[in-house]
Structures are given as C-alpha cells and as structure tokens.
Amino acid sequence: MSPEPFGARLRRAMDTRGPLCVGIDPHSSLLTAWGLSDDVAGLERFTRTVVEALADRVAVLKPQSAFFERFGSRGIAVLERAVADARAAGALVVMDAKRGDIGSTMEAYAATYLDPASPLFSDAVTVSPYLGFGSLRPALDAARASGGGVFVLALTSNPEGAEVQRSTAPDGRSLAQVMLDHIAAENAGAAPLGSVGAVVGATLDRAGVELAVNGPLLAPGIGAQGATAKDLPRVFGDAVRNVVPSVSRGVLRHGPSVSALRDAARQEAAQLAEAVK
C-alpha cells in the first residue's frame, strides 16, 4: 500500500490542529534569553522543551537545520531526536534545510530527509530551485515514494531575494512565477492538496504572482519580521486557505515555561485560523 501523501496529511493536520507552523530556531540569543548555555546542553534542553510543549498540539514544527549543524555531530543527534519525538507526538515535521544541488548530490540530500531509513527522515523539506527546477527531481521523486513533501523557495521574505526571484525569464514571466508554474504542474490532479509546496513570504506587500498551485504555501515572516495574521488575505488572496503560516520567535520567546509556550501557540493559532478561514 502506498503511503498517504503529505498534502493530504497536512490538510487534515491544519483542519484539526489549526494552521500554525512553529519554527524551532535555537539561535544563541534565544538560548541566552531562556537562561541556557550556548552549547549542546543548552540546545538539547531548548529543543526538548519546545517538542514537549507543542508537538502534540500544533500542526507543523519546522526545525532550522543550521542551528543544530553549528554544534557538529552532537547537534545533529539532538535534531534527530527532535524529529523522531515530534513526529511520534503527531506533529508534521518540515525540515528547514533549503538544500539545492544537482545529480547525485541532490539524490543524497533527498535520501537524508525523505528516505524513511534515514535518522533525519522528515515529513517534508525546504529546497532551493535556483539551479533549475529540474535539479529538484530526486527530491520530488523521493517525496512521492515516501509520502513526503517538498517546499520550494519561490518568493522569500528576505528583501534580497527579489533580485533573483522577481527577475524576468525569456518568456516574460518572473522566475518566481516559473517556479510556481512548475509546482502547479507537479500537483495537478492531487486532492485534497498537493504535496509540493512553495515558500512565499508573509512580509510581501503583495505576491504579484499566481499562487493557485494546488499545494501548501509556507509563509515565514509573521511576528519578528513584521507580518501579522491580518496580512495573509492581502498577500495570498484566494489561496489563503492553503497557507501554512510560520511563527518562530513570536512563540519561542515565551519559553522556557511549557505552559507559556502552549498559551502563545494557542493564541497564534486562533488568530491565524480567523485570518485564513
């Protein structure tokens, strides 16, 4: 029997738990704010607390791989444990790794995050398509085989992204639109939601592209980067129901109290559900 596709699992999770993705971003200043040391012990305490507080109640947890990689193999071990524990508690895990390469290297990245035999196996992974959308084929194929998902960078929340993403292809489309059109083609016929998503920043004044890709739209930028739940209908228009709003510091700054983290996540989820309904 084929595994249930990521898009279907994500739709169900957002409908039952609310449309909230919480980033797990243990950067040094946040560890300090929690009264933790900026080392593996602090990293482990932080990560376990977030997973304990939220994995049984939010739709998606999104660990940022770089904050674990900076501690070497011991940091990766913390990440492996977090992914396994979060998924066991019912949260979908999107690995924020933004990998992008070609050929056998892309195959290796796909095996790392989308092969069930891997210790870092996640429900989905973020990838960069700017070596050409076709370079992502190993990840797309691996996701389809494992029931996983892929979030493709399209229009990111950082201002610098526009110089690439808003540039024009030979046929007159923006590069972002080219990527979104590829995503729509991958998701054709999928129900209730495709498993190939796009990353589109919530901080944009307007998307200015066609977002009807029949897939999820991961929307970073809410909270510390300036976007709010009320911005989502303006940015995403008719596609707003498929938005997966990502909040990191807006929730994490309430730690290390488990109850405070849960309260913050519940409030965020309620505001976001009202905005996207």
- pLDDT at 148 (0 to 100): 98
Domain presence at residue 32 = no
User: Which one is catalytic: 62, 98, 230, 277?
Assistant: 98
164 vs 80: CA distance, rounded Å:
33
CA 233 to centroid of chain Cα atoms: 19
Question: What single DSSP character describes residue 174?
Answer: B
| Adjacent-strand bridge partners of 100 | none
pLDDT per residue as tens digits for the range 34-81: 999 999 999 999 999 999 999 999 999 999 999 999 999 999 999 999
Query: Is residue 267 in a domain?
Result: no
Q: What is the mean pLDDT of residues 186-202?
A: 97
Helix axes 258-276, 40-54, angle to 10 degrees: 50
DSSP annotation string for 33-47: HTT--SSHHHHHHHH
Q: Is residue 57, in this structure, part of any structural domain at all?
A: no
> Does residue 125 contact residue 139 with C-beta atoms inside 8 Å?
yes
- Residue 22 inside a domain? The answer is no
Closest among 31, 101, 17, 29 to 61, alpha carbons compared: 17
* Between residues 158 and 96, the one the model is more confident about: 96
**How many distinct structural domains can be found in the chain?**
1
Tell me, what DSSP letter sits at residue 237?
Answer: G
Question: Which residues form the domain of 213?
Answer: 6-16+62-200+209-247
Kindly state the tokens that stand for 107.
Answer: 């195959």
Residue-wise pLDDT for 230-277, tens only, equals 999 999 999 999 999 999 999 999 999 999 999 999 999 999 999 988
**CATH code for the domain of 73:** 3.20.20.70
Q: Let me know if residue 275 belongs to a domain.
A: no
Reported confidence tier of residue 104, pLDDT bands at 50, 70, 90: very high
Q: Do the domain assignments include residue 239?
A: yes
User: Active site includes 98?
Assistant: yes
Residue 12 lies in a domain: yes
Does 74 reside within a domain? yes
Residue 235: Cβ within 10 Å count: 24
Give 133-151 pLDDT, tens digit per residue. Answer: 999 999 999 999 999 999 9
pLDDT of residue 79: 98
Q: Confidence band (pLDDT; 50, 70, 90) for 2?
A: confident
Residue 128 CB-density burial (10 A; 0-12 exposed, 13-18 middle, 19+ buried): middle
